[in-house]
Amino acid sequence: MPDLEGWFQQLRETAPPDLWETIEQRSDASSPRTARRWPLAVLAFIVAAAGGLGAFLAFKSGGTARPSSADARIAFVDHGVVSLVQPNGGTQALFHGSYPSWSPRGDRVAFWRFKNEKDFGDADLVVARGDGSEPQIVASQLGLPFTVGRPAWSPDGNRIAFAGFPEDRDRSGILVISADGSGHPTTLTSYEGRHVCYDLQPTWAPDGSSVAFVVDCETASQGLWTVHSDGTELHQIRRPANAEESLRFPAFSPDGQSILFQRETPPTAEIWTVRPDGSRPRFVAEGKYPAWSPDGNHLAFVAQEGITVTDASGRSLALVVSLQPDGCCLAWPPSTASGNHARAREDRLRALLGSDGERLLRQAPPSRIHLMNPDGTGAAPLTSSAGDRPLAYAPDWSREGRRLAFTIGEPASPPAVPRGTATSP
């Protein structure tokens, strides 16, 4: 049984199961297949659900339809100013800075503020409110390359990974600091080799288990690497095909199943994805400065025509705005409203639990999935509990809305991703 903070962390990280495609394929198969294994004995159940007007207090998976203009809240950097695409196709300047990265809740943003415009510069790592107001310097670095990359928020929003120099300044590395600037940065990686190289552009896996980043040397790019969040198990997962090619700007997908990156051989830049173990490289589109949408269903990048959105497969291209920003990278901020709502809901739950929160959680009955009307009336349990206090959570409606898939067992982080031998795309 986790402690109170562990419960809140698990609730934040619990994602809806993507089970329906697997279920439907299995039902049509003529031969038996091995069931997909989920952490802590996750099982899929099919439940007859009454009524098409019912609603439930749970996550609901999104489709892959083109996002509306209001959903495409894409941030970009042009001439040292971070701006936001507006629903009407216009743009709104937010603040001066580079490499913006919004917190998981969308209520804060971390970015670099360089002090000059040379190839290497002194820069401050700044954390501000989501609109750029109330900036606070949490770290300062001297002589950073301008390809330093976005700061990477930990999944719980409490820490930030960034490229910089440890205190001895002899080697570059990936550092981690508290998001409020308290304490000193800790070193996650520190490059050791014969050439001048830099660990750059970190991205944190959504389950917090690992960080992916790139290594750039004075001789050539050294490709994509991963390291466990405790600094162990350092592996190169993708290497460039030749000395002219570089792999840049990695970004974990929200479900942790793939890493988005830019593959560049000047003057051509392409968007690719790869599995966290380096397998299954896949071309998406020609473009640069890629970013995931918060739900992982879409990608944004800069194409020749301007800022473009596509579904995760690279199909259904849609031009968002005819603009060629000169700075990296695009960012797709989460909805601040939903983040504030989630935080307010958690605060209310904490207040209800009070000082006896952990005792109440231990004594609480096993969780069940309920069905209710859209106005909140008529709530009734849809599942029953059995066994040693199992949890039923993360329900997901089938496409026709008549069946429900969900998981049982305690929410848990997925196992650490396996590491593979590095190969070229």
Tell me: pLDDT of 66 over 80: no
- Asked whether residue 80 carries a pLDDT value surpassing 60, the answer given is yes
Question: Is residue 59 pLDDT above 50, yes or no?
Answer: no
pLDDT at 145 (0 to 100): 83
**235 vs 197, higher pLDDT:** 235
- Predicted confidence (pLDDT) at residue 400 exceeds the cutoff of 70: no
pLDDT at 193: 57
CA angle (423, 171, 144) in 5-degree steps: 90
What is the mean predicted confidence (pLDDT) over 232-252? 92
**pLDDT at residue 138, as a whole number:** 95
pLDDT at 216: 86
| Of the candidate ranges 210-224, 263-277, 358-372, the one whose mean pLDDT is the lowest | 358-372
Task: Please state, in angstroms and rounded to a whole number, the distance separating the CA atoms of residues 32 and 26.
Answer: 8
Question: Is the pLDDT assigned to residue 24 strictly greater than 50?
Answer: no
More confident position, 179 or 59:
179
371-400 average pLDDT score: 60
Could you give the C-alpha distances from 64 to 252, 297, 298, in angstroms and in order?
Answer: 18, 6, 7
Q: What is the DSSP string of 222-249?
A: EEEEEEETTS---EEEE--SSTT-EEEE
Q: Worst-scoring range by mean pLDDT, 24-33, 50-59, 266-275, 297-306?
A: 50-59
Q: How far apart are CA 247 and CA 261, in angstroms?
A: 7
| pLDDT of residue 348 exceeding 60 | no
What is the percent of the chain with per-residue pLDDT over 70, rounded to a whole number?
Answer: 59
CA distances for 148 relative to 112, 134, 404, angstroms: 9, 23, 45
Confidence of residue 424 (pLDDT cuts 50, 70, 90): very low
Q: Output 1 or 251, whichever has higher pLDDT.
A: 251
Q: Look at residue 170 and tell me whether its pLDDT is greater than 70.
A: no
Share of the chain above pLDDT 90, in %: 39
Residue 243: predicted pLDDT: 86
* Residue 29 clears pLDDT 80, i.e. is over it: no
Let me know the angle formed at the C-alpha of 111 by 110 and 114, rounded to the nearest 5 degrees.
Answer: 150
Instruction: Quickly state the pLDDT bin for 357 (edges 50, 70, 90).
Output: low
- pLDDT over threshold 90, residue 126: yes
Give 411's pLDDT tier (boundaries 50, 70, 90).
very low
- Whether the pLDDT of residue 404 is over 70: the answer is no
Tell me the average pLDDT across 351-361: 53
- What is the structure's pLDDT at 39? 36
Cβ atoms of residues 396 and 46 within 8 Å: no
Give yes or no for residue 353 having a pLDDT over 80.
Answer: no
CATH fold, domain 75-338, is Methylamine Dehydrogenase; Chain H (2.130.10)
Q: pLDDT band for position 396 (50/70/90)?
A: low
Cα distance between residue 327 and residue 404, in whole Å: 44
Contact partners, residue 382, CB within 8 Å, separation at least 6: 47, 49, 56, 368, 369, 370, 371, 404
Rounded mean pLDDT of the chain? 74
Domain ranges of the chain: 75-338
- The predicted model gives 55-67 an average pLDDT of 35
Position 72 pLDDT exceeds 70: no
